[in-house]
Structure 1
Amino acid sequence: MNDCKYFSLALDESTDVMDVSQLLIYTRAVNNSFEVHEELLKLVSLHDTTKGQDIFNAVESVVSEHGGFDKLSAVVADGAPSMQGRRTGFAGLLRQSGVDCPILHCIIHQEALCAKSMNFSHVMDLVTKVTNLIRGGNRSLNHRKFVAFLDEVSAAYGDLQMHTEIRWMSRGKCLERFFALRSEIPVFLEESIRCDTSAYCSQLRDTDFLCDMAFLADITSHLNRLNLQLQGRGQTVSDLYAHMNAFNAKLGLFKEGFQSDRPNLAHFPSCEEMRKDAPECEETMLKYKAEIEKLQQQFKSRFQDFYAMQPRIALFTDPLSAAVSEQPPELQLELCELQADPFFQANRNERGISFWRLLPESRFPILRDFALSMASMFGSTYICESNFSMMKHIKSKERNRLTDETLFQLMQIGCTNIEIDIQSIVRQQERPQVSH
């Protein structure tokens, strides 16, 4: 932090096993050689309220130990009012303190909110109810019978998967299995479940309902694939923006597929299965064009913070093709030199940080400074979310008396990318034996 050129912050808050709010503050710092380091800066335990002022005070206190906000390039957080509020939220208070940098809403959170916009609750309600009837709560006998039944009929899967609302990607896996077992489930309900399941069985044999389930399973699978692409450490803002743009293009392709009288279902395998089973459902599938349009609209209305950065992202991604006249005046002269230099034209296959590392500081000080700022930016809070799982293991029911400082130190060791030679440290601390 002290030696870096720029740094950004990723903030997220969750409660531990003792209902104490824990604020994770991660930093992504880049030095003058374009070496990027993502490390846990601090874990702050908030024992009282978790308002925007509390979060701002905690972050300001931590960052002031490392030189303040002067090198801050961006902040990314979730969409909670305490984080993103323009007046009393962390974002608003940061602006009021004189810090002018992009404050981003985590791109993974926004993608998950887009996915929730599709109105297929009638499908998920039935899938959840039937799954709980077979393997939920204390229905272990039903569950054992169901697994044995699937094995007996050589079904595509050996069991159903539970769906949990807080695990965004579980819906896709749950739907995929449920649709694959759509023929076996009603047979099992009629033969083995004692309570009245006729309403469920009639729906599971209704072509329109199965078409809805097939479409939801396919589009959720595509959304899950995007979610996986947005995850992972070390991704730049331009990497995340590229994934999102690619998905926008895919949505346009999907919409075109549902415009003709005979839908093109090359990218919707479950819908294709339904068409083979019930050719008359083709007309029903034309209505899914409106659902894709709704999803497109969600992707256009959200991600405004990323769209606002689009010119900077485009310049960082491909400086040799950027329109010079559209760039800020302070970058234009150096950009002209860069684009005219045959050495850099020959190295245009290099992308992102690896390309910017080639620029000598003596010739391109302003462009390099711009690139360093972009390279330091987080685009999501993935690094926080993934390490909350570690926090749950460290401060478990059996170790719930850990102090705040000890929890932070254990988290530091568990989350760091720096290789730690524990045995060497222990040997250094051992006192030499005193002979008598």
Structure 2
Amino acid sequence: MDKWLKRSAEGTSNEERNAFESSSNKILDKCAPKKSKTYNFHQEWELDYFFTMVKENCCCLICNTSLAMPKKGNLERHFNTMHSKYLTDFPPNSEIRKSKLQALKSQLQVQENMFSGPIEQSKAATEASFQVSYRIAQKCKPFSDGEYIKEIFEEVSDSLFKNFKNKNEIKKAVHGLQLSRNTVMRRIEIISKNLNEQLQKDIALCVAFSLQFDESTDVTDTAQLLVFIRMVFEDFSTKEELLGMISLKGKTRGLDIFTEFKAYICQIKLCMYKLVSMTTDGAPAMTGIHNGFIALCHKDEDFPDFISYHCIIHQQVLASKRLNTKHVMDISFKIVNSIKGKSLQRRLFKQQLDEKEPELAMHTDVRWLSRGKFLQRFRDLLDEIIKFLDERGDDYQQLRDLDWQCDLAFLADFTGKLSTLNLNLQGKNKTLTEMMSSIAAFQCQTASMIVDIEKKKFEQFVNIKDHMEKHPNYNFISKKYTTEIRAVVADFEIRFGDFRKIENLVQFISYPFNDSIDHSDIYELATKFADTFQMEHMMLQNEIITLSCDIFLKARSSSGQDFWALVSKEKYPNLKNCVEQLHSCFGSTYLCESAFSYLKQTKSKQRSRLTDAHTLDSLRLAISNYKPDYAKLVEDTQTQCSH
């Protein structure tokens, strides 16, 4: 039509062309589709014609007839034609007419409830099913426990709701729970997907993140690589979550770990440009110079320049092993195994102890805290052990040697302090500042320990003090023990070199307004920041100088709020970016180590056939800080009661 009109208008005068265009517009208006009119329902029509709106449909309250459009003429025609009797029986604007309207509306509501009631009950049963399945996964229980929980509900409902008027309704609701083994399995899959979606949204929102890795074998000898992520946001809040679990079916070389991990991050489309650091357990497959996992990541172009750390807790344990405990541990370990290893000997020794006395503790190198507890318990029960061995006919002369007893007392005291340090390093949401402060504090305490031993005050060595009180004439040689302490401290200095490289950066972040910082220190700080995080040196130096003179921020540096959350991103873009990246760093692989405990409970000998996908789903629910969005889960699920 448009092309025809255009061609017809060519070759004419202006007046003819204008007349032609006006006539063509009229033709086009007639050809255009008519706009549909919109009719709105008026509230007074309820009383006038006994009509109401039900889900965008105009419905008659008397005969339940629905009209296509809420038009007054349509309503009036239907009422006068079909229900003219109501005009005489219920006069307009009378009280009896209003009462009749309310009665008809109540009757309609009852009819709606007859259909909506079962749907709402079905949704409630589905939501309860999700909640029970979530708790089952959190406690690392089998999927089949859902049926057991339902059986308990049904059994106790008779007694628990005996005097309730709606007892039958409650029992019916309990019976409608969907908790079969397959249903619980599907619920856990759906919840895990929901939690993972929340994680992916936070990864997209965060400004920087770091990763920690650790690998261990499950009950089926499958190597499982756990990956945790620590995200930092613009307000300096942080979140630590399980990113994924990668199953290594074959070898666990650095190349194998790298290949599987790269395939995994491509699958989940992880934005690697936000990566700041990686923390590992220090195994050769992870930290090998040429073919280690970290080395391969540095060589790959898809990975940005990142920092790598050896877990600070592992380093602390390795440094603690520098302590010479062999002559004490070998004898103690042999004696405890001879008692605890046989049921008869264990019963006889237990009879010899008082009820309030603790039993002997076992020791294994895998458990970091067991050595201190083992030695302390052995020394507490030393007299009972000697008596028991004499009755049994075993002769251990070392137990009566005062030098050996003093060595035992020293090791019990010092390993106890190392265990306390280890506990301070453990925990979730531990920052580098807190961990490095704990290490520095322990090193300072060792200096006072050495003075305490040299002056023979024994204020920090309660076991040695007890030994000296029992044997006042004992010739105590302090040099032997101070040498051991100094050797451990020297090993600490060597092993924590990676963290000491950024020690001055951490100190500056913790308190940027230190009066002792001069211009040379500012230059070194800017250089260290620039080298560590690939920033422009001069811009960082200028921002540090400007910050040191910022009166507004200096006045608020001692407030209870997080200081760096108050720093303007526009005024200090490079410096705040460095702080955000440093704030995201992991200091240890504690999350991986603790997650392996949940993995052992989830995939136990009784559940050895659990697939890797279901293992990951259950593990995510057990350790995640996210909460399921039950409303969304129910909305996306086809709800129905159990049959």
Q: Distance in 2 between matches of 1:358 and 1:86?
A: 41
Q: Residue type matched to 1:401 in 2?
A: R
Q: Distance in 2 between matches of 1:67 and 1:416?
A: 19
The structure with higher relative contact order (CA 8 Å, sep 6+) is 1
Q: Residue type matched to 1:71 in 2?
A: K
Is the 1:147–1:158 Cα contact (8 Å) retained in structure 2?
A: no
Is residue 334 of structure 2 the alignment partner of residue 129 of structure 1?
yes
Question: Equivalences for 1:191-202 in 2 at 5 Å?
Answer: 191=391, 193=392, 196-198=393-395, 200=396, 202=397
Q: Which residue of 1 aligns with 2:297?
A: 94
Q: Which residue of 2 aligns with 1:169?
A: 369
Q: Distance in 2 between matches of 1:51 and 1:229?
A: 32
State the shift of 1:433 in Å.
6.3
RMSD: 1.9
Is residue 632 of structure 2 the alignment partner of residue 392 of structure 1?
no
Is residue 556 of structure 2 the alignment partner of residue 347 of structure 1?
yes
State the shift of 1:343 in Å.
2.7
Q: Residue type matched to 1:427 in 2?
A: V
State the shift of 1:128 in Å.
0.9
State the shift of 1:428 in Å.
2.7
Structure 1 window deviating more from structure 2 (381-390 vs 171-180): it is 171-180
Secondary structure in 2 matching 1:159? coil
Tell me how many residue pairs correspond in the alignment.
420
String of CA shifts for 1:340-383, please: whole Å, max 9, x gaps: 222322223258x8111111212221121111101110010000
Is residue 253 of structure 2 the alignment partner of residue 253 of structure 1?
no
Q: Distance in 2 between matches of 1:417 and 1:17?
A: 26
Q: Distance in 2 between matches of 1:84 and 1:349?
A: 40
Q: Distance in 2 between matches of 1:87 and 1:187?
A: 57
Q: Residue type matched to 1:333 in 2?
A: N
Is the 1:16–1:391 Cα contact (8 Å) retained in structure 2?
A: yes
Question: Equivalences for 1:213-292 in 2 at 5 Å?
Answer: 213-260=408-455, 263-292=456-485
String of CA shifts for 1:235-286, please: whole Å, max 9, x gaps: 11111111111111111221222334xx231111101111111123353343
Is the 2:454–2:478 Cα contact (8 Å) retained in structure 1?
A: no
State the shift of 1:168 in Å.
1.3
State the shift of 1:69 in Å.
2.6
State the shift of 1:160 in Å.
0.8
Secondary structure in 1 matching 2:243? strand
- The structure-2 alpha-carbon separation of the partners of 1:256 and 1:190, relative to structure 1 and needing over 3 Å to count, comes to same
Q: Distance in 2 between matches of 1:256 and 1:433?
A: 73
Q: Residue type matched to 1:232 in 2?
A: G
Q: Residue type matched to 1:10 in 2?
A: Q
Tell me the TM-score normalized by structure 2: 0.63
Q: Which residue of 1 aligns with 2:287?
A: 84
State the shift of 1:421 in Å.
5.0
Is residue 543 of structure 2 the alignment partner of residue 334 of structure 1?
yes
**Structure with more of its chain in helix, by fraction:** 2
Question: Equivalences for 1:59-208 in 2 at 5 Å?
Answer: 59-64=261-266, 65-98=268-301, 99-136=304-341, 139-151=342-354, 157-191=357-391, 193=392, 196-198=393-395, 200=396, 202-208=397-403
Question: Equivalences for 1:276-315 in 2 at 5 Å?
Answer: 276-315=469-508
Q: Mind listing any 5+ residue stretches in structure 2 that lack a counterpart?
A: 1-202, 527-536
String of CA shifts for 1:412-434, please: whole Å, max 9, x gaps: 11111112255x46533442569
Structure 1 window deviating more from structure 2 (280-289 vs 109-118): it is 280-289
Q: Mind listing any 5+ residue stretches in structure 1 that lack a counterpart?
A: none
Q: Residue type matched to 2:554 in 1?
A: Q
Secondary structure in 2 matching 1:265? coil
Is the 2:276–2:585 Cα contact (8 Å) retained in structure 1?
A: yes
Is residue 241 of structure 2 the alignment partner of residue 48 of structure 1?
no
Secondary structure in 2 matching 1:70? helix
Q: Which residue of 1 aligns with 2:232?
A: 30
Secondary structure in 2 matching 1:327? helix
Higher gyration radius (CA): 2
Is the 1:2–1:66 Cα contact (8 Å) retained in structure 2?
A: no
State the shift of 1:315 in Å.
1.9
Q: Distance in 1 between matches of 2:452 and 2:204?
A: 53
Secondary structure in 1 matching 2:226? strand
Q: Distance in 2 between matches of 1:305 and 1:33?
A: 28
Q: Distance in 2 between matches of 1:306 and 1:143?
A: 46
Q: Residue type matched to 1:337 in 2?
A: T
